[in-house]
């Protein structure tokens, strides 16, 4: 995530620090990026774990997984598209 999408957030091909996204220069977007990634993964693993442990379908976690993973993918894709529209090149 950091090595590909981070370069579009920073708009520099050499800057790949995961913690700089959490600072005000980048409008604290790292909290949203890392938060949606963490929550999507958490709910996905929780659904599989509860299904294994409880031996029944647990349907309440799947919408949350879909929402957070979709938000993560859209946000990361948006940075690539916006950078391409501004400069006309990919990093």
| Nearest Cα residue to 71 out of 43, 26, 39 | 39
Domain that holds residue 43: 21-87
Q: How far apart are CA 87 and CA 67, in angstroms?
A: 30
Look at residue 32 and tell me if it is in a domain.
yes
Burial of 32 (0-12, 13-18, 19+ CB in 10 A): middle
Whole-model pTM: value is 0.89
CB neighbour list of residue 31: distance below 8 Å, 6 or more residues apart: 22
Counted domains in the chain: 1
12 assigned to some structural domain: no
53 in a structural domain: yes
Say which residues have a Cβ less than 8 Å from residue 19's Cβ, sequence separation at least 6: 30
- Confidence category of residue 1, pLDDT binned at 50, 70, 90: confident
Is 13 within a domain?
A: no
| Structural domain contains residue 2 | no
Whether 4 is covered by a domain: the verdict is no
Q: Is residue 8 part of a domain?
A: no
Query: pLDDT tens digits, residue range 4-63?
Result: 999 999 998 898 889 999 999 999 999 999 999 999 999 999 988 888 898 877 888 899
């Amino acid at each position: 995530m950091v090595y590909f999408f981070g370069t579009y957030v920073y708009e520099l091909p050499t800057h790949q620090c995961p913690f700089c996204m959490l600072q005000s220069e980048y409008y604290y977007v790292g909290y949203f990026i890392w938060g949606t990634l963490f929550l999507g993964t958490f709910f996905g693993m929780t659904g599989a774990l509860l299904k294994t442990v409880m031996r029944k379908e647990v349907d309440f976690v799947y919408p949350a997984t879909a929402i957070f993973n979709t938000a993560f993918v859209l946000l990361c894709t948006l940075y690539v598209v916006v950078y391409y529209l501004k400069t006309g090149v990919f990093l």
